[in-house]
Structure 1
Amino acid sequence: MEDLVKLRDEIDAIDDQIVSLFEQRMAVAENVAAFKRSVGKPVLDKEREKIKIQKVTEKTSNAFNRQAVESLFGQIMAVSRMLQYQRLASERTDVEGFQVGDMVTTPETKVVYTGVPGAYAEAAMDSYFGSEIRGFNVETFGDAMEAVHSGRAQYGVLPIENSSTGSVNEVYDLLSAYDNHIVGETMIKIEHALLGLPGSRIEDIRTVYSHPQGLMQCSRFLDAHREWQQVSLQNTAASAKRVLDDQDMGQAAIASRQAAKNFGLVVLKEKLNDLDNNFTRFVVISHEKVFRKSADKISVCFEVPHESGTLYNILGHFIFNGLSMTRIESRPIQGKPWQYRFFVDFNGNLREQAVRNALHGIQSETEGFRILGNYIGVGQQ
């Protein structure tokens, strides 16, 4: 036991030296930041770090220590960069051109949603904006993005995530492709029903239409009717309209009760969802780079080199600035096999210095960086 105590005392003494030397190193790093600022030199110097790693690993005595020292110094240099980014970011007065502003709506404000009247997207639009706007519908998510981008609509409402089936991947891809921005979000409870023509019965059904997510969210019910042909359409309300237009007693749609009212259909069965607590989160988009003073949620996207540890180092910017991530999503990049674009949501406001510090660091070390928006998160309005 005495030998163990002595060994621990030795480790404590070494650790004290490590801490002291680390603080000395960080003090020098601050001076490096000041110099780089004065000459306009970027914080990240990949070639310098590569040479540094090679030199320190050559001083180790075995393969295990070599790998450990490579990892250790990689982290030390990452932390050093974060400190330098903080010093440089403190001088910035804006972030990517975003400005504080309110969402002003009038009875003439145009808001676009996807689908036809009775779609869940229309319900999300009504939930967020109320009735004092001019809502209109388009067929696809891309059509909605284009309407906002061109100015044909001031705002758009698009589904981005469902609590049971996950992300709406196409919307994530469109957010990176278009120069539109998230200015708000809302959440709608999804309650699917089986809709048919008046006089039809469940026993008559041969084909069921719905959005792909609607079919997935009712998989247990549909598994009990495997003889039915499942057909995916653009959205749930369009599926209800298809049943009305075809006037075929053997067809049904999975959609909302509101869609049944809109198209004169009857509800053959309610509560089809696999999960009772089934919600879809919708984002509100605008072409303007604005955010409210009370905005508390930020969405960004970026690409990282296809190298070990790169994503880990990027996420460190959130940790070292005390920011809480709420979601991370990845999407494959077209034309770049096995490379991915990352979407991150985190809590914060673009006026906060910690947010500016993190974003400056992330932007400096990634490709295709974009701030998608700063807005009031669901449940905080």
Structure 2
Amino acid sequence: MDLSTLRNEIDRIDSQLVQLYEQRMEICSQVAEYKIENGKKVFDKTREEEKLARVRSLTHNDFNSQGVTELFEQIMAMSRKLQYQMLESHGRTGRLPFIPVENLDTKKARVVFQGAEGAYSQAAMMRFFGERIDSIHVDSFRDAMSAIEEGSAEFAVLPIENSTAGIVSEIYDLLVEFENYIVGEQILKIEHCLLGVPGTKISDIQTVYSHPQSLMQSSRFLGGHSWQQISMPNNAFAARKVAEDRLKTQAAIASEYAGKVYGLEVLQKPVNNVSNNSTRFIIVTNQKIFKKNAKKISICFEVPHESGSLYHMLSHFIYNHLNLTKIESRPIEGRTWEYRFFLDFEGNLEDSAVKNALRGLREEASNMKILGNY
């Protein structure tokens, strides 16, 4: 046979495959009607594994066995998505335990941030809530999460990502551990300064204190000097230490505002590696609420440690035309080489496409948690 004849034969077979696919999906819709009527779950993992084993047994070599497995995994995934869509059309959307609100109630709220006076978190807090907000500060991110969980504050402001240094991994882990939820975000431009006690010269400095991420964000500047670099829990703590010790051999990398708070002199600014350095802060509360005009959703989930599992989870976003804006992974404590995935995507919890995607994820992923809509 010539190439044209072979291609015509492929086209003929493909037409048959399309017809058979549509017939199969029609039967699947009838299966969905039955499940809806009888309250059965869409995802039946045992049934799907049996089906895959059966179609593999019909093939004649390993290559075709693998190909048929991938093909039928996709076909069954599309069948599930059709069934989730039918549940939505029948009004079986399920209730998400989040309450929509017009605005956040911040008039009498107390806000907690990590660090000391002059911290970037404090600046982000004032940018989001206003300068007159009632606030307290604590030593650690965990203390901030505990404060809103136990009710000593209504909101917490926490840094979650820097445009240069990447994510603040501890915050991701705490979002899983605590029943606290994201209700807002604030992006703050970061301009690091080298601060010292008045009269200090750069040639006097022997030791520099700052948060590990700030040291990383200023690595090019610091690399030009042989100073000892010491990590601190917060930039403002570093500025406060330098101010309290009153030693010209010490300097801090922190904000210019922190320098004013502690009476330090700006020795050089900016010392950032890049000029467009910004940090994204999240606003967290212990209430399951979201603003009605919220446009971003954060979730996390675990997947089975097997080939294709993450791909199948992500397909729910593709099928529902949802724009995935970020994905991160974090190791799962106590489970070597297993990971929890964190995703941000555009949408609102009241959108039907979002409900449809979350329903599929909740059924097929492990330990799926909505972290917030903001």
Question: Counterparts of 2:103 and 2:339 in 1: how far apart (Å)?
Answer: 33
Give the residue type in structure 2 aligned to 1:80.
Answer: S
SS in 2 for 1:113: strand
Equivalent in the alignment of 1:230: 229
Equivalent in the alignment of 2:333: 334
Give the residue type in structure 1 aligned to 2:51.
Answer: K
Going from structure 1 to structure 2, the CA distance change for 1:151 and 1:271 (only over 3 Å counts) comes to same
Give the residue type in structure 2 aligned to 1:111.
Answer: V
1:133 aligns with 2:141: no
- 1:39 Cα deviation after fit: 2.7
| Deviates most, 129-138 or 262-271 | 129-138
Equivalent in the alignment of 1:372: 371
Equivalent in the alignment of 2:109: 109
- 1:288 Cα deviation after fit: 1.2
SS in 1 for 2:304: coil
SS in 1 for 2:136: strand
Contact in 1 for aligned 2:113/2:136 (Cα 8 Å): yes
Equivalent in the alignment of 2:322: 323
TM-score (norm 2): 0.97
Question: Counterparts of 1:102 and 1:151 in 2: how far apart (Å)?
Answer: 22
- 1:9 Cα deviation after fit: 1.9
The one-character-per-residue Cα deviations of 1:41-91 (angstroms, maximum 9, x if unpaired) are 222222211111111112112221111111111111111111112222443
Going from structure 1 to structure 2, the CA distance change for 1:94 and 1:43 (only over 3 Å counts) comes to closer
The one-character-per-residue Cα deviations of 1:262-295 (angstroms, maximum 9, x if unpaired) are 0000011111111111000001011111111211
Question: Counterparts of 1:20 and 1:76 in 2: how far apart (Å)?
Answer: 14
- How many aligned residue pairs are there? 373
Equivalent in the alignment of 2:285: 286
Equivalent in the alignment of 1:379: none
Question: Counterparts of 1:295 and 1:311 in 2: how far apart (Å)?
Answer: 26
Equivalent in the alignment of 2:204: 204
- 1:126 Cα deviation after fit: 0.9
Going from structure 1 to structure 2, the CA distance change for 1:22 and 1:295 (only over 3 Å counts) comes to same
Give the residue type in structure 2 aligned to 1:134.
Answer: D
Identity %: 53
| Deviates most, 189-198 or 36-45 | 36-45
Contact in 2 for aligned 1:318/1:324 (Cα 8 Å): yes
SS in 2 for 1:43: coil
Give the residue type in structure 1 aligned to 2:165.
Answer: T
- 1:4 Cα deviation after fit: 2.4
Contact in 1 for aligned 2:87/2:93 (Cα 8 Å): no
Give the residue type in structure 2 aligned to 1:359.
Answer: L
Question: Counterparts of 2:250 and 2:104 in 1: how far apart (Å)?
Answer: 43
Question: Counterparts of 1:110 and 1:278 in 2: how far apart (Å)?
Answer: 29
The one-character-per-residue Cα deviations of 1:182-219 (angstroms, maximum 9, x if unpaired) are 00101000100100001111111111000000000000
1:35 aligns with 2:34: yes
Give the residue type in structure 1 aligned to 2:135.
Answer: G
Going from structure 1 to structure 2, the CA distance change for 1:106 and 1:12 (only over 3 Å counts) comes to closer
Question: Counterparts of 2:192 and 2:21 in 1: how far apart (Å)?
Answer: 59
Contact in 2 for aligned 1:107/1:134 (Cα 8 Å): no
Give the residue type in structure 2 aligned to 1:41.
Answer: K
Equivalent in the alignment of 1:118: 118
Structure 1's unaligned 5+ residue stretches are 376-381
Equivalent in the alignment of 1:303: 302
Question: Counterparts of 1:49 and 1:109 in 2: how far apart (Å)?
Answer: 50
Question: Counterparts of 2:326 and 2:279 in 1: how far apart (Å)?
Answer: 15
- 1:40 Cα deviation after fit: 2.6
- 1:93 Cα deviation after fit: 5.0
Question: Counterparts of 1:71 and 1:56 in 2: how far apart (Å)?
Answer: 11
Question: Counterparts of 1:94 and 1:55 in 2: how far apart (Å)?
Answer: 34
Question: Counterparts of 2:191 and 2:108 in 1: how far apart (Å)?
Answer: 31
Matches within 5 A, 1:13-162: 13-90=12-89, 91-92=91-92, 95-162=95-162
Going from structure 1 to structure 2, the CA distance change for 1:93 and 1:8 (only over 3 Å counts) comes to closer
Contact in 1 for aligned 2:104/2:291 (Cα 8 Å): no
RMSD: 1.4
Question: Counterparts of 2:320 and 2:106 in 1: how far apart (Å)?
Answer: 39
Contact in 2 for aligned 1:163/1:279 (Cα 8 Å): yes
- 1:95 Cα deviation after fit: 4.1
Question: Counterparts of 1:95 and 1:340 in 2: how far apart (Å)?
Answer: 28
Question: Counterparts of 1:131 and 1:273 in 2: how far apart (Å)?
Answer: 26
Give the residue type in structure 2 aligned to 1:252.
Answer: A
Question: Counterparts of 1:104 and 1:349 in 2: how far apart (Å)?
Answer: 16
Going from structure 1 to structure 2, the CA distance change for 1:95 and 1:347 (only over 3 Å counts) comes to farther
Question: Counterparts of 1:211 and 1:95 in 2: how far apart (Å)?
Answer: 42
The one-character-per-residue Cα deviations of 1:143-202 (angstroms, maximum 9, x if unpaired) are 111111111111111000000110000000000111111001010001001000011111
Equivalent in the alignment of 1:378: none
The one-character-per-residue Cα deviations of 1:107-151 (angstroms, maximum 9, x if unpaired) are 531111111111110111111111242122111111111111111
Equivalent in the alignment of 2:216: 216
